[in-house]
Amino acid sequence: MNPILLTIILVPVIEIYLLIKIGSQLGAISTIFLIFSTAIIGVYYAKYEGLNTLKSGFAQLSKNETPAYEVISGAAIAFAALLLIIPGFATDVLGFLLIFPLSRKLIFNSFSKKFSTKQKKKNDFIDGDFEDIEDDNDRKI
């Protein structure tokens, strides 16, 4: 089965299950308040982290360095904000993990190890000298 289709089916099922379980323990009003408060706090913190990432990206650009980590981090923060807006507890946990810089860096490192290709160090160049010889036919009129 397609992993995207499986995710589309499983995420709402997990969210509904968690909402029922937590709602039966805390009560309906408390659960609704908890859902709204995690969304509000998460989006506020996502805005804060996004601005910090943008500031760090501009600092990298001013040093003439490529802000690759900042670009990936900014995309992860935007995705985390989306996850926090979606009502549910599983998406909130994943969203908060993506927002906090330490856990985000750990997640990026695990993905980079998983998808990195091991490159063999091989010398595919030839070292040599050259001498430029001028010829009358090379000169342009």
Domain-by-domain residue ranges, the chain? 36-108
Under 8 Å CB-to-CB from 79, ≥6 apart: which residues? Answer: 98
The pTM score is 0.74
Give the tens place of pLDDT for each residue, 57-103.
999 999 999 898 899 999 999 999 999 999 999 999 999 999 999 99
Give the tens place of pLDDT for each residue, 7-55.
889 999 999 999 999 999 999 999 999 999 999 999 999 999 999 999 9
9 class by beta-carbon count within 10 Å (0-12 exposed, 13-18 middle, 19+ buried): exposed
